[in-house]
Structure 1
Amino acid sequence: MNSPPETQRLFFALWPEQAFQESLAQIARQVLGKQGKRVRPENLHLTLVFLGSMTAQQRACVEAVADTIVGRSFTLQLEKIEHWSRPRVVWCATEETPEPLIELVQQLNQGLTVCGHQPETRPYRAHMTLARKVAGHFPATRVAPLVWQVDHFCLVQSVTYPSGAQYQVLRTWPLGM
């Protein structure tokens, strides 16, 4: 009897430097206090495209697509904190999504269709999740802007343990000028 092929849970993301992650975690501590379950600083990232469980063959296909991406580097400025009450998530976002970021997500989604990926139907919202399981009403808050110079994107593996998710950057691709 054949066993099912081994899979990895994958996504494309922007992965900030540790200092940026720490600054964002500090803002989360100040704004949230003891509310919700905060994302560990080393896990803070901005998802571009969630892929889900993929076989080695599917992973090779998405990596080949990423090899063809011609994106521009850009500055990302996170300056507002908001709350989605339905999934009970607090997140940090930009006031305005930079055009090169929108283009990068569009290129990935378009290219990944050859791998069988179905693009998200909802409009893309650039955000970094700060905490989950935040109950009740959480008002939108403006924060001192955190500025991040983005010059690459990554393929990331997510592994879920009883203690929470652990992410591993598998590969990176540069963004040009």
Structure 2
Amino acid sequence: MTNVSEQVAGRLFIAVGLGEAASMELERWQAEAEQILSFAKWVHPEDYHITVQFLGDTSQKVLDQLIPALKEAVREVEPFSLELSGTGTFGTANAPRVLWAGVRGDIPALENVVASVLKVTEPLGFIPEDRPYRPHITVARKYTGQAGFDIEGTHILQPMEEIAWSVDHLVVYKTHMHQKPMYEKLALIPLA
């Protein structure tokens, strides 16, 4: 019999959500983009987020330690503002693996939150990624078009309105593979 504390709580990550108006604008833009751009998988609008740290499979015991650690990490962090800002891709230019919406605003505050989170998750066994932090909102994955992808050629898409929102909490999400929406909110961690 498996001990409850050893049970896997799930495949988890920590993120910042979007404000309602920003999410609605991104959903509008995505609906238009889906008619023009060929990607294998489009993100469900309820799954829009900016990843702070991917955790992977996490036991219930570690999750029980993680929540108070995160609360402590951000208890003195004031809410800050972010804003939708353009689009881009990761991967090869003509066949990207990710289409994303960019963010701007108080990026130093977001980076401070990331640093605070990494500081409290490392003692729990989570290793920070080896690459620089690049805040973004994934919109689609795996380009499947026959012609090479040309983000500049998407000028027929209306630009995304640059809507701002206030970040006042973190979210711990659990992933449910092959479901839509794919992410379940397990915990909200308020900022100061």
TM bucket normalised to smaller: 0.7 to 0.9
Give the match for residue 171 of structure 2.
Answer: 154
Residue 11 of structure 1: aligned partner: 13
For residue 20 of structure 1, what is the aligned residue in structure 2? Answer: 22
What is the DSSP-based 3-state SS (H/G/I as helix, E as strand, rest coil) of the residue aligned with 1:145? coil
Letter in 2 for 1:64: P
Kept after mapping to 1: 8 A contact 2:71/2:190:
no
Q: Contact conserved, 2:44 with 2:181, CA < 8 A, in 1? A: no
Identity of aligned residues (%): 27
Root-mean-square deviation (CA, aligned residues, Å) is: 2.4
Per the TM alignment, residue 149 of structure 1 is displaced from its structure 2 partner at its CA by: 1.3
Equivalent residue in structure 2 for 1:68, among 67, 72, 75: 72
The gaps in structure 1 that reach 5 residues or longer are none
The amino acid of 2:118's aligned partner reads N
1:20-58 Cα distance to aligned partner (Å, 9 max, x none): 322211112233434212111111111111000001111
Q: Which moved more, 1:134-143 or 1:59-68?
A: 134-143
Is 2:82 the counterpart of 1:81? Answer: no
> Which has the higher Rg, Structure 1 or Structure 2?
2
TM superposition score normalised by structure 1: 0.86
User: What are the Cα deviations for residues 83-109 of structure 1, in whole angstroms up to 9, with x where unaligned?
Assistant: 113561100112466211000000001
Partners of 1:25 and 1:130 within 8 A in 2? no
Letter in 1 for 2:134: R
Match of 1:133 among 109, 128, 142: 142
Distance of 1:156 and 1:46 partners within structure 2: 11
State the alpha-carbon separation in 2 of the partners of residues 124 and 28 from structure 1. 24
Unaligned runs of 5+ in 2: none
Q: What corresponds to 2:61 in structure 1?
A: 57
Provide the aligned length of Structure 1 versus Structure 2.
Answer: 175
State the alpha-carbon separation in 2 of the partners of residues 100 and 15 from structure 1: 15
2:124 to 111, 115, 140: 115
Q: 2:130 is paired with a residue of what secondary structure?
A: coil
Q: Is the 8 A contact 2:82 2:164 kept in 1?
A: yes
**Cα gap change, 1:57/1:32 in structure 2, threshold over 3 Å: closer, same or farther?**
same
Contact 1:82/1:138 (<8 A) preserved: no
Distance 1:31 1:157 in 2: 27
The C-alpha deviation readout for 1:56-83, integer Å capped at 9, x for no partner, is 1111222121021232211101211001
Q: Which moved more, 1:125-134 or 1:135-144?
A: 135-144
- Residue by residue over 1:100-119, the C-alpha shift from the partner in whole angstroms, topping out at 9 and shown as x without a partner, is 10000000011111101100
Q: Of Structure 1 and Structure 2, which has the larger fraction of its residues in helix?
A: 2
1:75 alignment partner AA: S
